[in-house]
Chain A
Amino acid sequence: MWPEVLSFGDAGFGDEILFLGAPLTFGVALASLLWGLLLGLLNASMALSRSRALNLIADVYTTIIRGIPEFLVVMIIFYGSGILLEEIARSVFDYQEEVPINKFIAGAFALGLIFGAYGGEVFRGAFLAVPKGQIEAGFACGMSKQQVFFRIRMPQMWRFALPGLGNLWMVLLKDTSLVSVIALDETLRWSKVAAERSQEPFTCFLYATAIYLVLTIVSDVFRQRLEKHVSRGVRTA
């Protein structure tokens, strides 16, 4: 017997949660992933660089993000960007109205910022895991530094980074629920709306739980396949 509050149609929220909320959950996660991968690569290359200043920047970024709650990061980015943009609008453009903040962008920005801090560590380890002999072989063949980076280190690094990145994706998928607090209409936010309008909050949140679980299981399967794919051609014991 399907509960009425979760029916598909005007009477219930089943379709809103599943067809509006869940795709947005996935969308925020994907946008955060792309932004986070970029930051993570940047973070790792700064950490591995010979410049002390860049090392320090990477270290400070990673340490700060790791040391404060994810929720606080989301809050700071959301309210901070609002206040900052209004400040700029007032002083530079003499614009006195409220500046609307795009919740999707603010949320994905914050989650990507978190991903990049942890991803930096994953990429750093992966770059270091590429056998040194291969890099030397590249130079011996007369490749330039850039060529060695793009033809030898970068393609092989992914294989070592993938397990770590897979874990981070799982964490990210769950962390998208945080942006429901800044009222982005993803899975949890719709479930909360449904819960508040009905007498069946448990049912509504259980539905959300099931959606997250499905996303996790699908990701798990996909991750295993991808790991197998990047490890093809590698001899195993």
Chain B
Amino acid sequence: MEYLIQYSDRFIDGTIITIQLLVTSSIIGLAIAVPMALARVSRNPLLAGGAYVYIYILRGTPLLVQLYLVYFGLGQFEAVRESVFWPILRDEYWCGMIGLTLNTSAYVAEILRGGIMGVPHGEVEAARAAGMSQALMYRRIILPKAFRIAWPAYGNEVILLLKGSALVSTITVLDLMGVTRTVFSRSYSLDLFLYAAILYFVMTFVLTRVFRMIERHLNRHLQDREQIEKRTAAQAA
């Protein structure tokens, strides 16, 4: 406990960094995932194939290797070192964020693909019958429905991202895990890991709750129906 109090400022800073990384990479990751999922289900073989390879490679290799490739790897190329992006690409925080973003974008794209495939065919036909263009149909019918279907899986992915973010400590980012490891290397007090575990646990718990709340909000138009179904089922029984 003494170390936790002694280094409380650092633990707070680390927790803030972890939350920052989670929020930014999940938002940017989602922004990449939507077009990637659309490309994946597109009929254009070039688009679909490209998206398939992108998703397969990022999902088929460890996040840790991806982080190493970005942080340690990119400096190998002179073109990168001399480009305007070098101040960003040699900074561990930005590299961590890039790695997490790319990684999560692939998982979310696959989740969204599942959502898109799960949209009932009747709804698509109805949209077509109503004379909607392809773009309008995606915007008004398919994507909103796909998001609702994918939401629980998306929530799981955000939690996996939070847990995966602990890996940025290996590229020297001082997130919650990074701070914990630094202080541990000075004190060898195992309690520190337990405190970190509690903090992570609280974060995942809160996230789970928030996602479930939003899920209820997203499906609020179905609630009446559920209640009606429950009532009729009770009457039948």
Contact = CB atoms under 8 A, between A and B. Distances in A.
Interface of A: 64, 66-72, 75-76, 79-80, 83, 170, 174-178, 180-181, 188, 191-192, 195, 199-203, 205-206, 208-209, 212-213, 216-217
B85 interface: no
Given A71-B167, A216-B61, 16 more contacts: A66-B159, A68-B200, A69-B162, A72-B166, A72-B196, A76-B193, A76-B197, A83-B188, A177-B62, A178-B62, A188-B64, A200-B76, A205-B69, A205-B73, A206-B69, A206-B73
Q: List the 10 closest A-B pairs by CB distance, nearest first.
A: A202-B73, A69-B166, A216-B60, A177-B62, A69-B163, A67-B201, A174-B62, A202-B76, A201-B72, A67-B204
Contacts of B190: 76, 79-80, 83
A8 B74 CA distance: 24
B170 A68 contact: no
B76 A201 contact: yes
B177 A209 contact: no
Contacts of A79: 184, 188, 190, 193
Contacts of A68: 163, 197, 200-201, 204
A27 to B, nearest CB: 16
Contacts of B72: 192, 195, 201-202, 205
Q: Chain B contact residues: over half helix, strand or loop, or mixed?
A: helix
Interface residues of B, number: 38
Interface in B48-80: 57, 60-66, 68-69, 72-77
Contacts of B200: 67-69, 72
Contacts of B77: 202
21 contacts: A67-B205, A68-B163, A69-B165, A70-B164, A71-B169, A72-B197, A79-B193, A83-B188, A176-B62, A177-B64, A177-B65, A180-B64, A181-B64, A188-B64, A201-B75, A205-B68, A206-B73, A209-B65, A212-B60, A213-B60, A216-B61
A24 B184 CA distance: 28
Given A212-B62, A217-B60, A69 B164 contact: yes
Chain A interface, >50% SS class: helix
Contacts of A64: 197, 201
A80 B193 contact: yes
Contacts of B163: 68-71
A99 to B, nearest CB: 14
Nearest to B208: A67
B176 to A, nearest CB: 9
Contact of A213 (B61, B73, B167): B61
A68 B200 CA distance: 6
A71 B200 CA distance: 12
Contacts of B166: 69-72
Contacts of B194: 76
Interface of B: 57, 60-66, 68-69, 72-77, 159, 162-167, 169-170, 177, 181, 184, 188, 190, 193-194, 196-197, 200-201, 204-205
A181 B171 CA distance: 11
A69 B164 CA distance: 7
A83 B204 CA distance: 28
A76 B166 CA distance: 13
A195 B75 CA distance: 12
Contacts of A202: 69, 72-74, 76-77
B75 A75 contact: no
Contacts of A217: 60
A205 B76 CA distance: 11
A181 B200 CA distance: 20
A80 B193 CA distance: 9
A136 B177 CA distance: 51
Nearest to B197: A68
Contacts of B164: 69-70
B61 A209 contact: yes
